[in-house]
Amino acid sequence: DILVFRKEREDLKRSAATIGQEVGLLRRFFKQMVLLEKLAKNPAAPVRKPRVKNDRVKFLEPDQAAALMAASPLWLRDLITFARFTGCREGEILSLTWADVDLKRGLLTLGETKNGDIGHVEINATTRALLERLPAEGAPGGARAIGARVEVMRGRSRARQGSFGSDVYRGG
């Protein structure tokens, strides 16, 4: 039974990624057996792969951060600084609104993050200073403070270069 196999692998302390690959292989194998009419149904079909959490902590060394900032266009530097000091992903930053920012408590609330959770990030002095320079809610571009500013600056940079396909930004 495939569920027994999965449980045995968990009991042996195999990683979720390893078990997921093994279950996936079994599912594909039995699916082929069904397609070749060797089996009536796939016994591995109802067995779900375990959820994999690949939490890794990575930091730029000071010299790497300085080189990144020096090589980046002006419009991107606030985004890089914000990401560096909050650990937020680009999409999380660009979707932030002032409703997500609590300067009194020093806290950001991220909508649904990549892993499906609601995230909270403490605001440090660097992030606070960056946020305080942005337009307030109700001002032009204020609804999506950081995202709107980055989008405007990205557009100006591309317009100066005369191309929206430049090497400055390779994103969505």
More confident residue, 169 or 45: 45
Please enumerate, as own/partner, the contacts of 19-28 that have beta carbons within 8 Å and a separation of 24 or more: 19/49, 19/50, 20/49, 20/50, 20/52, 23/47, 23/48, 23/49, 23/50, 24/49, 26/2
- Name the maximum alpha-carbon separation found in the chain: 67
Average pLDDT score over the chain: 78
Which tokens hold the place of 154?
Answer: 């990205």
More confident residue, 162 or 12: 12
pLDDT of residue 92: 82
Q: Does residue 19 surpass a pLDDT of 80?
A: yes
pLDDT of residue 101: 87
More confident residue, 166 or 41: 41
What are the CA-CA distances from residue 43 to residues 4, 16, 162 (Å)?
12, 20, 58
Please report which confidence band the pLDDT of residue 145 belongs to, taking 50, 70 and 90 as the band edges: low
Separation between Cα atoms, residue 22 and residue 7, nearest integer Å = 12
pTM score, whole prediction: 0.52
Which tokens hold the place of 21?
Answer: 């690959």
Please write the tens of the pLDDT for every residue from 78-95. Answer: 888 988 998 888 788 878
pLDDT of residue 147: 57
Please write the tens of the pLDDT for every residue from 32-78. Answer: 999 999 999 999 988 888 888 766 667 788 999 999 999 998 878 88
